């Protein structure tokens, strides 16, 4: 063997000896990940195949087509990003923002602020409009901000994972056409659980994740880009300032050219394909209705326990509910006990709502009355325990 | 339900009906993905847990520590990126390159060119040094180029996946200290299969992938950054021009603060943790020796069949061999028949070597004399078939 003798000795300082993996079984009722459908988990339990294997290419087409159905779009450029939801979020901005472009962002929660941070990194002239966390923008708010800032891009969060509020999108796309700007929609906590009509709403770019409404493990994240956004991409003076997320390179892999870009997360594609197959089997109408009914059952149960929701019912997401922490209750202690004694994960408040709310997700396979009952029973018990402590 | 009546009808145009997933069983002997260890695949076959679950946080620590062992480094900032190898590649450049920084890149294959493309997008003043595809740089070449260009960063590919050549790193780090520049190493096709002594070699940043020497599915990618690189990160005048890969944000999640950044690819972390556990159990010396011996068996077998290797033995990677396509043989026809008749995937040539070589990977669990025999038998048969056609 070449140069064995001149090699240093292997250092065993970091050579930990581990037992085979064990993982606790949790009921994941936080903001995500949610539990995946068991069929989806089982789909990953096989060997990878090559990312240019004909069988894999066929699977890519299936995933693209069913993502179009799920988003209700006919966008050619509809494919999953090989990363988690924040990568797909960044992909929307990276592809259409050039240095100096004015980007208007609706901030009404944590993920609005994340969009601000990201857009700044791409050299955007970032402008913001604000609503209190838990509320939404009206069409009048949006019209006024568009008139004031005249942005090239408007980014709005459809389902604010930090607040549980659903931003209405009806009419927003028309306003964006009137003001000649692109519209980006964050559908991370809505895709597969909340009605979305991307083409009807005239949304130009959207992103989501796998581990919420789609009931798939995290790590692969839907992205879509319509013709007006593609046109801006083609008019760019500068290369996309992000190689991994460059839609011009990615469409050569996802399109008929099949030009190698990156090694796809093959097993996660298996999972996503199965998650989307199950979704198409159930149908969007039935799925949305299931999520709405489960949520309403939960909200009624909360009221019976004397617990309040942070968001007005009209704008409440069925996928994610922010529950107000009652006066005098240690929110984190409740989270800890739910996890340690009941194996149930719910989320704490994020940003401005830290300590003030819990975040409960009832998404995908977890959108089910059984889960609601399990959670309400445990939550009631644990809150009493914490009050008594 | 809110506003059901005003909604558009769901469009079923893209609602494909699919059968449950079936995936062909392939022996993956191309440049990657390789077959994963069955124990690693099985590890993914469970429900996700939360990315802030105490059990998950403990697993993160295990993964970090074993990555340090695998790379032979004590870098605190050693963690996997939630994406494939190219994302980890981009993470090295994104974090230490500021606009105007001079970056010298050694180009002796496809992935050197990829580094050039990426560095350009981060505003680097990119300089290149070149060697023919399949050859490597000498210390004299490197010294001369450093003296000429005086870069802030030198990026070199340790294991060129497109050529099968191994770049010696002994002494390169000392040169980089002498010229006061950072050293980035691409170890995508070497980690877990080829001797690497990151700290001994004085490498400042490195990246790899999961689906080759580590025998894990693709989608999660090791990244490491030493103290000199961290210092440059902290001296930055501008934010890292990539939110998803920002090491300053990521270290708050991977470090003791545990500040939420992105939703981790939980099931892939299960897989990587098991892959690293198996690697530590086997031990680096034994693993490197296994890869070397398997490769030598393969090279001898190739010679017996009258087939030649593209790279001189001294600089040949044990993980990836470029086999010269004999005169008059249709390379792609061989790939197709191997796949369709033998369920064996090997790679074609990339870039300058397209049509001239096949790329054979014997990595991780596939570094085994059985696989060598299977491949040699099938390859010999298929080449005769193609010649006869």
Distance, in Å, from the CA atom of B225 to the CA atom of B216, rounded to the nearest integer, reads 22
Can you read off the two tokens belonging to residue B122?
Answer: 């981060």
Q: How close is the nearest chain A Cα to the Cα of B72, in Å?
A: 7
Same domain, residue pair A222 and A94? yes
> Are the Cβ atoms of A23 and B270 closer than 8 angstroms?
yes
Q: How close is the nearest chain B Cα to the Cα of A130, in Å?
A: 22
Structural domain includes residue A57: yes
Q: Which residue of A has its CA nearest to B1?
A: A292
Residue A138 has pLDDT above 90, yes or no: yes
Collect contacts of A376-379 with beta carbons under 8 A, ≥24 apart.
Answer: A376/A298, A376/A301, A376/A302, A376/A305, A378/A338, A378/A341, A378/A342, A378/A344, A379/A305, A379/A307, A379/A334, A379/A338, A379/A346
Q: How close is the nearest chain B Cα to the Cα of A201, in Å?
A: 10
Q: What is the pLDDT of residues A205-242, one digit of tens each?
A: 999 999 999 999 999 999 999 999 999 999 999 999 99
Distance of CA A167 to the CA centre of its chain: 15
> Are the Cβ atoms of B51 and A65 closer than 8 angstroms?
no
Report the residue from B11, B53, B350 with minimal CB separation from A26.
Answer: B53
- Where among A223, A245, A280 does a domain terminate? A280
DSSP collapsed to 3 states, chain B:
CCCCCCCCCCCCCCCCCCCCCCCCCCEECCCCCCCCCHHHHHHHCCCCCCCCCHHHHHHHHHHHHHHHHHHCCCCCEEEEECECHHHHHHHHHHHHCCCCCEEEEEECCHHHHHHHHHHHHCCCEEEEEECCECECCCHHHHHHHHHHHCCCEEEEECEECCCCEECCCCCHHHHHHHCCCEEEEECCCCCCCCCCCCCCCCCCEEECCCCCCCCCCCCCEEEEECHHHHHHHHHCCCCCCCCCCCHHHHHHHHCCCCCCCCCCCHHHHHHHHHHHHHHHHHCHHHHHHHHHHHHHHHHHHHHHCCCCECCCHHHECCCEEEEECCCCCCHHHHHHHHHHHHCEECEECCHHHCCCEEEEECCHHHCCHHHHHHHHHHHHHHHHHHHHC
Half-sphere exposure of A10 (CA within 13 A, CB side): 21
**Is residue A154 within a helix (H) or strand (E), and if so which, with residue range?**
strand A153-157
**β-pairing, A357-361 with A347-348?**
antiparallel
Structural domain includes residue B158: yes
With contacts defined as CB-CB under 8 Å, which chain B residues touch A343? Answer: none
Same domain, residue pair B96 and B126? yes
pLDDT for res B6: 76
SS3 A8: coil
First to last CA, chain A: 66
Whole-angstrom Cα Rg for chain A: 22
Q: How wide is the angle at C-alpha B193 spanned by C-alphas A7 and B264, nearest 5°? A: 120
Q: Which of B46, B271, B288, B345 to mutate to test the interface with A (most CBs of A within 10 A)?
A: B46
Q: How close is the nearest chain A Cα to the Cα of B389, in Å?
A: 23
Domains identified in chain A, total number: 2
Same domain, residue pair B180 and B243? yes
Same domain, residue pair B211 and B329? no
> Are the Cβ atoms of A62 and B200 closer than 8 angstroms?
no
Report the residue from A14, A39, A84 with minimal CB separation from B68.
Answer: A14
Give me the residue label for tokens 């609503």: A131
Q: Which residue of A has its CA nearest to B33?
A: A50
pLDDT for res A84: 96
**Chain pair A-B, CB pairs under 8 angstroms:** 302
Mean pLDDT of the B34-47 span: 97
Same domain, residue pair A266 and A296? no
Q: What is the pLDDT of residues B201-253, one digit of tens each?
A: 999 999 999 999 999 999 999 999 999 999 999 999 999 999 999 999 999 99
Structural domain includes residue B46: yes
Report the residue from B6, B62, B263 with minimal CB separation from A211.
Answer: B263
> Are the Cβ atoms of A15 and B280 closer than 8 angstroms?
yes
pLDDT for res B389: 85
**Is residue A206 within a helix (H) or strand (E), and if so which, with residue range?**
strand A205-207
Distance, in Å, from the CA atom of A114 to the CA atom of B36, rounded to the nearest integer, reads 36
**ipTM here:** 0.97
Q: Which residue of B has its CA nearest to A121?
A: B241
Distance of CA A303 to the CA centre of its chain: 28
Q: Which of B242, B313, B320 to mutate to test the interface with A (most CBs of A within 10 A)?
A: B242
> With a threshold of 0.95, does the pTM exceed it?
yes
Distance, in Å, from the CA atom of A239 to the CA atom of B332, rounded to the nearest integer, reads 33
Distance, in Å, from the CA atom of B40 to the CA atom of B59, rounded to the nearest integer, reads 15
Same domain, residue pair B199 and B262? yes
Q: How close is the nearest chain A Cα to the Cα of B108, in Å?
A: 19
Q: Each residue of B114-123: b (16+ CB within 10 Å) or e?
A: bbbebbbbbb
Mean pLDDT of the A28-38 span: 97
pLDDT for res B348: 96
Q: Specify the DSSP class assigned to residue A310.
A: S
Report the residue from B195, B211, B289 with minimal CB separation from A48.
Answer: B211
Same domain, residue pair A366 and A316? yes
Q: How close is the nearest chain A Cα to the Cα of B45, in Å?
A: 6
Can you read off the two tokens belonging to residue B271?
Answer: 């897989």
Beta-bridged to residue A186, according to DSSP, are A157, A207
> Are the Cβ atoms of B83 and A85 closer than 8 angstroms?
no
Q: How confident is the model at residue B5 (pLDDT cuts 50, 70, 90)?
A: low
Residue A308 has pLDDT above 80, yes or no: yes
Close Cβ partners of B1 (under 8 Å, ≥ 6 residues apart): A289, A292
Q: CATH code at B294?
A: 3.90.1150.10
Residue B377 has pLDDT above 80, yes or no: yes
With contacts defined as CB-CB under 8 Å, which chain B residues touch A23? Answer: 46-47, 49, 55, 270
Q: Could you list the residue range(s) of the whole structural domain that residue A262 is in?
A: 38-280
Structural domain includes residue A136: yes
Q: How confident is the model at residue A5 (pLDDT cuts 50, 70, 90)?
A: low
SS3 A126: strand
Q: How confident is the model at residue A6 (pLDDT cuts 50, 70, 90)?
A: confident
> Are the Cβ atoms of A33 and B48 closer than 8 angstroms?
yes
Tell which residue, B43, B49, B77, has the closest CA to residue B264. B49
pLDDT for res A389: 86
Same domain, residue pair A360 and A319? yes
Same domain, residue pair A175 and A295? no
Residue B3 has pLDDT above 60, yes or no: no
Structural domain includes residue A3: no
**β-sheet with A347-348: strand ranges across:** A320-324, A357-361, A347-348
SS3 A214: coil
With contacts defined as CB-CB under 8 Å, which chain B residues touch A13? Answer: 69, 74
pLDDT for res A2: 47
CA–CA distance from A348 to each of A30, A360, B307 (Å)? 8, 9, 62
Q: How many residues does chain B have?
A: 389
**Is residue A174 within a helix (H) or strand (E), and if so which, with residue range?**
helix A172-178
Q: What is the pLDDT of residues A247-299, one digit of tens each?
A: 999 999 998 888 989 999 999 999 999 999 999 999 999 999 999 999 999 99
- Where among B280, B315, B344 does a domain terminate? B280
SS3 A14: coil
With contacts defined as CB-CB under 8 Å, which chain B residues touch A103? Answer: none
Q: CATH code at A104?
A: 3.40.640.10
Classify residue A261 by burial, with Cβ atoms within 10 Å: 0-12, 13-18, 19+. Answer: buried
Greatest alpha-carbon span in chain A = 75
Count of helices and strands (H, E) across chain A: 12, 14
Residue A54 has pLDDT above 60, yes or no: yes
Same domain, residue pair B210 and B299? no
Distance, in Å, from the CA atom of A214 to the CA atom of B219, rounded to the nearest integer, reads 19
Q: How wide is the angle at C-alpha A204 spanned by C-alphas A200 and A208, nearest 5°? A: 90
Average pLDDT, chain B: 96
> Are the Cβ atoms of A219 and B220 closer than 8 angstroms?
yes
Q: How confident is the model at residue B1 (pLDDT cuts 50, 70, 90)?
A: very low
Residue A179 has pLDDT above 90, yes or no: yes
Same domain, residue pair A211 and A320? no
Report the residue from B20, B55, B62 with minimal CB separation from A23.
Answer: B55
**β-pairing, A344-345 with B221-225?**
unpaired
Distance, in Å, from the CA atom of A3 to the CA atom of B340, rounded to the nearest integer, reads 40
Structural domain includes residue A14: no
Average pLDDT, chain A: 96
Q: How close is the nearest chain B Cα to the Cα of A234, in Å?
A: 16
Distance, in Å, from the CA atom of A89 to the CA atom of A308, rounded to the nearest integer, reads 31
Close Cβ partners of B26 (under 8 Å, ≥ 6 residues apart): A47, A49, A50, A53, B35, B339, B343, B344, B345
- Where among A280, A302, A320 does a domain terminate? A280
CB B182 within 8 A of CB B225: no
Close Cβ partners of A149 (under 8 Å, ≥ 6 residues apart): A102, A104, A127
CB B248 within 8 A of CB B261: no
Q: What is the pLDDT of residues A79-106, one digit of tens each?
A: 999 999 999 999 999 999 999 999 999 9
CA–CA distance from B84 to each of A33, A218, A362, B303 (Å)? 20, 14, 30, 35
Distance of CA A162 to the CA centre of its chain: 11
With contacts defined as CB-CB under 8 Å, which chain A residues touch B268? Answer: 219, 265, 267-268
Give me the residue label for tokens 């019976």: A304
Distance, in Å, from the CA atom of B347 to the CA atom of A382, rounded to the nearest integer, reads 57
Structural domain includes residue B159: yes
Q: How confident is the model at residue B256 (pLDDT cuts 50, 70, 90)?
A: confident
Can you read off the two tokens belonging to residue A138?
Answer: 């009206």
Q: What is the pLDDT of residues B109-125, one digit of tens each?
A: 999 999 999 999 999 99
Q: What is the pLDDT of residues A313-362, one digit of tens each?
A: 999 999 999 999 999 999 999 999 999 999 999 999 999 999 999 999 99
Same domain, residue pair A48 and A74? yes
Residue B2 has pLDDT above 60, yes or no: no
pLDDT for res A1: 41
Mean pLDDT of the A121-145 span: 98
Structural domain includes residue B359: yes
């Amino acid at each position: 063997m070449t140069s064995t003798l001149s090699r240093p000795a292997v250092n065993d300082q970091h050579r930990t000896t581990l037992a085979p993996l064990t993982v606790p079984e949790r009921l994941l009722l936080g903001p995500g990940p949610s539990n995946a459908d068991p069929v989806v988990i089982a789909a990953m339990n096989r060997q990878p195949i090559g990312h240019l294997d004909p069988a894999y290419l066929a699977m890519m087409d299936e995933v693209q087509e069913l993502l179009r159905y799920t988003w209700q779009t006919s966008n050619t450029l509809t494919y999953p990003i090989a990363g988690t939801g924040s990568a797909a979020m960044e992909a929307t901005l990276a592809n259409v923002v050039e240095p100096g472009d004015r980007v208007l962002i609706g901030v009404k929660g944590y993920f609005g602020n994340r969009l601000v941070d990201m857009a700044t990194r791409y050299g955007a002239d970032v402008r913001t409009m604000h609503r209190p966390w838990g509320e939404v923008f009206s069409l009048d708010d949006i019209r006024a901000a568009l008139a004031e800032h005249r942005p090239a891009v408007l980014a709005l969060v459809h389902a604010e994972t930090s607040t549980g509020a659903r931003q209405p999108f009806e009419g927003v796309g028309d306003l964006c056409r009137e003001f000649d700007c692109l519209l980006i929609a964050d559908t991370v906590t809505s895709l597969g659980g909340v009605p979305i009509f991307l083409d009807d709403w005239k949304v130009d770019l959207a992103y989501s994740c796998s581990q919420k409404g789609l009931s798939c493990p995290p790590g692969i994240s839907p992205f879509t880009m319509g013709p007006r956004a593609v046109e801006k991409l083609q008019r760019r003076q500068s290369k996309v300032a992000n190689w991994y997320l460059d839609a011009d390179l990615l469409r050569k892999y996802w399109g008929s050219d099949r030009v190698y870009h990156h090694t796809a997360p093959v097993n996660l594609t298996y999972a996503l394909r199965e998650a989307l197959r199950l979704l198409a089997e159930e149908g969007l109408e039935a799925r949305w209705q299931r999520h709405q009914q489960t949520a309403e059952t939960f909200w009624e149960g909360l009221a019976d326990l004397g617990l309040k929701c942070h968001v007005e019912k009209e704008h409440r997401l069925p996928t994610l509910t922010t529950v107000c922490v009652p006066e005098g209750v240690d929110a984190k202690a409740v989270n800890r006990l739910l996890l340690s004694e009941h194996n149930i994960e719910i989320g704490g408040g994020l940003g401005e709502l830290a300590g003030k709310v819990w975040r409960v997700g009832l998404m995908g396979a977890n959108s089910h009355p059984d889960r609601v009952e399990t959670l309400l029973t445990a939550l009631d018990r644990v809150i009493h325990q914490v009050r008594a402590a």
